[in-house]
Structure 1
Amino acid sequence: MKLPISPPVEPMLAKSVPRIPTADGMTYEPKWDGFRCIVFRDGEEVELASRGGKLMTRYFPEVVEQARRQLPERCVVDGELIVIQRDRPDGQPQLNFELLAQRIHPAASRVRLLAETTPADFVAFDLLALADESLLDQPYPHRRSRLEAALGHVAPPMHVTQVTTDPATARRWFDRFEGAGLDGLIAKPAELPYEPGKRLMFKVKHKRTVDVVVAGFRWHKSGPVVGSLLLGLYDDAGVLHHVGVSASFPMARRKELLDELEPYRGAGADHPWVHGDHERGQRIPGGVSRWTGGKNLEWEPLRPELVVEVSYDAMEGDRFRHTAQFVRWRPDRKPRSCRYDQLDRPVRFDVDQVLRGDPENGGPTSGPA
């Protein structure tokens, strides 16, 4: 490839903030829940690069083909790979990160099949180079204007993300777009150049808390301390489902947790996850998969008597989308009271409306040029 910017290039990143930031010229856009991807195109040559310089080109042949058809002849575009699930029971198209994750598969035949059955879309949100010109040093409003001019003609499954400079519109997006599976908001300061690998943007994500049952744990890879807590919620039928893990602890805290869990160890064969109630679709902790490689996922059951409050950002079906964060023990709560009906479910929203930038979404599709 003979481009002014060549892979690997680390994408510019965002740092988490607790609330939507405001400043003159700040631009806001939806935070897509997918794989960050920088597309490099030089004629027929196309590469899809993720964070860390890993190439994803072989896993998304349909995106490579769309890049050849729709992107400028020579360009570098920053964006996100997403998968939209359209066959949902409620008929509402929504992002599905789990389906996207399944696209990373070692078998070429499986890659081809998944490209047909769960094709990915690409959402562009920054332009890093065009023809022989690098735009890294240009302020963001200039790069956005060039992006809209260069990609204004693209059609699904290629998209240009909508943006706004109105904080009130950004707040409405933050509330409404979660129902389409989006992650929150990205805020970009007005004169921001593109600095690879630097956390110069801001991200605001949805955070909630819920009380869950601690029904098991996994050992840490470094030794006899707690690696992760296995979390559960009861459904209306009284079945305890595994909903995720809490795992981000300092080493000293991992040792303390082992002492705190000691009274609950030694659960017998009647533990609700030892055998599983498959007839009622019970979720139980899994084993080794292609995502974990050779990682030991054996777990130790605990008597399901401990309740912990955790924070989480969103649900993927009936489990936490990402690792939940430990908040505090809840000795005042009874385990059987930890049910799915605690969860704050977002209002359903059509992801296609977000991609189209429909006026009824609450604001303009772009800020002033």
Structure 2
Amino acid sequence: MKGPVVPPVRVALAETVGALPRDPGRLAYEPKFDGHRMVMFRGAPGDVVLQARSGRLVTAAFPDLAEAALALPDGTVLDGEVVVWSGGRIDFAAVQGRAAATPGRAPALARRLPASYAAFDVLAADGHDLRPAPYTRRRARLEELLAQLGPPIQAVPMTTDPDVAEVWFGTLTAAGIEGLMVKRLDEPYKPGRRAWRKLRHTDTRDAVVIGFTGPRERPAALVLVLPDDDTPVVSSPLAPRLRAEAGAVLRGLPEPEGGGGTATAVGLGEVAYRSVPPALEAEVAQGTTRHTVTTVLRLKERSAPAS
């Protein structure tokens, strides 16, 4: 095997499918946690690094998970999702609020909105790179590493039985788990490639609004963060009704520290946007022609902002 796996790393990705794949004896099925993708590095004694999907280091934003990771053996690297549970459901807006927290606010948010880490892969153990190993070996090592830990770091459930997976798909939506991940048992971990498959109940997703373009009173587009990806995206232009509805909410929100940033808009490239706290969610549809276009279908105001 290769030497130590160090940040930043590229994560494995998944392609969306419209039906449950069935290939008995060759596939693994896992619930799809719509959280904040994170790679957890446990280095030398006392050393923990947390990396988002984009490669951004988010260790300071999740002090509770950084502390929990100290229980892992040196040389362990995990891939998984950060989730925050609220009322028995996954609260993605709360996760985004945690991820966007400044170092000064992060400890208080960790106490109010404790995070859990749903690990679904191990990239390294004992300092050795396990990415070339088949899924079966990596999964066995993951379960061995986490067997004695317990919350907040736990392995996601897994089955090789497609009938059990179908039951999961039909019953876990109440907890905010909107689909399944499907992986070949004999396949290595493939950084940056869509070798895995994901099945969702719908073609729509809930995203968190972190900013807007245009005037606050009638924004032209919203800047969004979607589950499993911390990179901001700019929506397609809002319909007139949504511009007025979004403006009514945005006028009541404070402007956080920093004021704004830049994000990629399809057809325009990098555009500047103004930031808002993660107090507003949007149901979005994503369609792909040459580029992925994110369209806002409706707004979902939160009653208790996560920030």
Compute the TM-score of the two structures, normalised by the length of structure 1: 0.60
Measure, in 2, the Cα distance between the counterparts of 1:79 and 1:109.
Answer: 25
* Structure-1 residue corresponding to 2:163: 168
What is the correspondence of 1:346-365 to structure 2 with a 5 Å cutoff?
A: none
Give the SS at the match of 2:121: strand
Aligned twin of 1:62: 64
Pairing 1:206–2:208 present: no
- Is the contact made by 1:288 and 1:296 (CA closer than 8 Å) also made in structure 2? no
CA distance in 1 between partners of 2:279 and 2:176 (Å): 11
TM-align CA RMSD: 3.8
Report what 2:178 is aligned to.
183
Aligned ranges 1:80-119 → 2 under 5 Å: 80-85=81-86, 88=87, 93-105=88-100, 107-119=102-114
Q: Which runs of 5+ in 1 are unaligned?
A: 210-216, 221-225, 230-246, 277-282, 299-315, 327-338, 341-369
CA contact (8 A) 1:248 1:325 kept: no
- Deviation, structure 1 residue 73: 2.5
Per the TM alignment, residue 285 of structure 1 is displaced from its structure 2 partner at its CA by 7.4
Please state whether the residue corresponding to 1:108 is helix, strand or coil.
coil
Given that 1:59 and 1:105 are in contact with CA atoms closer than 8 Å, whether structure 2 keeps it comes out as yes
Residue identity matched to 1:8 = P
State the alpha-carbon separation in 1 of the partners of residues 190 and 97 from structure 2.
Answer: 31
Q: What is the correspondence of 1:314-329 to structure 2 with a 5 Å cutoff?
A: 320=282, 322-324=283-285
| Amino acid of the structure 1 residue aligned with 2:66 | V
1:109: Cα distance to partner? 2.6
1:151 maps to 146
- In structure 2, relative to structure 1, the CA distance for the partners of 1:67 and 1:200 (3 Å cut) is same
SS in 2 for 1:99: helix
1:238-273 deviation per Cα after TM superposition (whole angstroms, max 9, x unaligned): xxxxxxxxx765xxxx7xx99xx7xx9xx9xxx778
> Equivalent residue for 1:237?
none
Once residues 287 and 188 of structure 1 are traced to their aligned partners in structure 2, the CA distance between those partners, rounded to angstroms, is 42
Amino acid at match of 1:45: D
Structure 2 CA distance for partners of 1:106 and 1:158, relative to 1, 3 Å: closer
| CA positional deviation for 1:105 | 3.8
Q: Hey, what does 2:260 align to over in structure 1?
A: 293
* Distance in 2 of aligned mates of 1:124 and 1:196: 16
Q: Could you tell me which amino acid in structure 1 is paired with residue 59 of structure 2?
A: T
Q: CA deviation at 1:153?
A: 1.3
Change (3 A) 1:173 1:103: same
Secondary structure in 1 aligned to 2:260? Answer: coil
The alpha carbon displacement at 1:58 in A equals 0.6
How far 1:296 moved relative to its partner?
Answer: 4.6
Instruction: Using structure 2 for the length normalisation, give the TM-score.
Output: 0.71
Which amino acid in 2 is paired with 1:197? G
Distance apart, 1:227 and its partner CA: 5.3
Cα displacement string for residues 267-298 of structure 1 (whole angstroms, at most 9, x for unaligned residues) = 9xxx7787x6xxxxxx5777675498255569
Aligned to 1:39: 40
Rounded Cα–Cα distance in structure 2 between residues aligned with 1:79 and 1:272? 35
Deviation per CA, 1:292-339: give whole Å up to 9, x if none: 8255569xxxxxxxxxxxxxxxxx99954x42358xxxxxxxxxxxx9
Which of 120, 128, 134 aligns to 1:133? It is 128
CA distance in 2, matches of 1:273, 1:59: 28
SS at match of 1:127: strand
Is this contact kept in 2: 1:72–1:151, CA < 8 A?
Answer: no
Q: Could you tell me the percent identity over the aligned residues?
A: 35
Give 1:39's aligned amino acid.
Answer: M
**Ranges of 4+ aligned residues in structure 1 off by more than 3 Å:** 217-220, 226-229, 271-274, 283-292, 294-298, 316-320
Q: State the shift of 1:118 in Å.
A: 0.6
Q: 8 Å contact 1:47–1:64 — kept in the other structure? A: yes
The answer for the alignment partner of 1:193 in structure 2 is 188
Instruction: Note closer, same or farther for the CA distance 1:166–1:117 as it changes in structure 2 (3 Å cut).
Output: same
Distance in 2 (alpha carbons) for counterparts of 1:273 and 1:75: 44
Alignment check: 8 A CA contact 1:286 1:297 kept: no
* 2:21 match: 21
* Pair 319,77 (structure 1): closer, same or farther in 2 beyond 3 Å: closer
Q: What are the Cα deviations for residues 123-171 of structure 1, in whole angstroms up to 9, with x where unaligned? A: 1111111113211111101111111112111211111111011111111
Query: Does the Cα contact within 8 Å between 1:288 and 1:297 map onto a contact in 2?
Result: no
Give the letter for the 1:33 counterpart: D
Name the aligned partner's letter for residue 134 of structure 1. Answer: D
More strand by share: 2
Does residue 1:11 correspond to 2:6, yes or no? no
Structure-1 separation of matches of 2:20 and 2:252: 37
The offset of 1:108, in angstroms, is 2.6
SS in 1 for 2:78: strand
1:198 shift after superposition: 0.8
The 2-side partners of 1:66 and 1:74 are apart by: 15
